[in-house]
């Protein structure tokens, strides 16, 4: 369905997608199409792995919720986050899963990269701190559509960056004490926090 809907889907850096081990995919969020494009380029057909999505509980309702759950989404209540949501994300990483978290929090159609929410970093650091040999990686991904309002025959460019090893930030001390403290002392993290 996707190649027929879009005029063109251009991908660069697909070789950067790890074929195994725990990975947090960190894409920009420009349209609801993002959640369908990612598995086409990095999911089971390409890597043999399913993607799991951390999404707000408000989005996992009705017919949309049914689709999100089928795509591997699990809800996080951003109004009253629970430790179970964070624990589930860490469990998925421990199992070597590919977890998708949109670090900007919401959909932004202006083409600019917006301030990143701390949830992704907290989850990654906490997982690596609990299991020092986990080897979790964060994979930055840029999605750009030809039209702000994505429509039939729009095109999309996807650029996949080099994976960032979470352990390198713990070892190098790039703010690791502060991140570790915030991960241990903060409430569970959601995609929009």
Query: At a CB cut-off of 8 Å and minimum separation 6, what does 61 contact?
Result: none
Domain coordinates in residue numbering, the chain: 2-185
| Backbone Cα Rg of the chain | 16
pLDDT of residue 1: 66
State the Cα–Cα distance between residues 159 and 109, nearest whole angstrom: 17
State the Cα–Cα distance between residues 99 and 120, nearest whole angstrom: 10
State the Cα–Cα distance between residues 91 and 127, nearest whole angstrom: 8
CATH tag for 2-185 (out of 3.60.15.10, 3.40.1130.10, 3.40.50.2300, 3.40.50.11260): 3.40.1130.10
pLDDT of residue 188: 36
State the Cα–Cα distance between residues 39 and 117, nearest whole angstrom: 23
* Secondary structure of residue 180 in the 3-state scheme: helix
pLDDT of residue 12: 97
pLDDT digit string (tens) for the chain, length 193 residues: 677 899 999 999 999 999 999 999 999 999 989 988 999 999 998 899 999 999 888 888 888 888 888 888 888 876 776 777 788 999 999 999 999 999 998 888 888 888 888 888 889 999 999 998 999 999 999 999 999 899 999 999 999 999 999 999 886 554 445 444 444 443 333 333 2
């Amino acid at each position: 369905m996707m190649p027929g809907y879009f005029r063109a889907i251009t991908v660069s850096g697909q070789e950067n997608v790890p074929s195994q081990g725990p990975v947090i995919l960190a894409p920009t969020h420009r349209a609801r199409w993002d959640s369908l494009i990612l598995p086409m380029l990095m999911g089971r057909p390409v890597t043999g792995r399913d993607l799991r999505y951390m999404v707000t509980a408000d989005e996992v309702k009705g017919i949309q919720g049914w689709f999100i759950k089928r795509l591997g989404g699990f809800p996080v209540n951003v109004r009253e986050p629970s430790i179970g949501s964070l624990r589930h994300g860490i469990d998925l990483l421990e199992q070597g899963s590919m977890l998708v978290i949109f670090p900007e929090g919401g959909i932004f159609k202006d083409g600019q990269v917006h301030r990143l929410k701390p949830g992704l970093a907290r989850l990654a650091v906490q997982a690596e701190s609990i299991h020092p040999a986990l080897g979790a990686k964060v994979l930055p991904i840029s999605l750009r559509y030809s039209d702000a309002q994505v429509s039939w025959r729009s095109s999309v460019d996807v650029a996949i960056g080099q994976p960032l090893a979470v352990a390198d930030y713990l070892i190098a001390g790039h703010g690791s004490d502060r991140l570790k403290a915030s991960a241990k002392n903060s409430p569970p993290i959601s995609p929009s926090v």
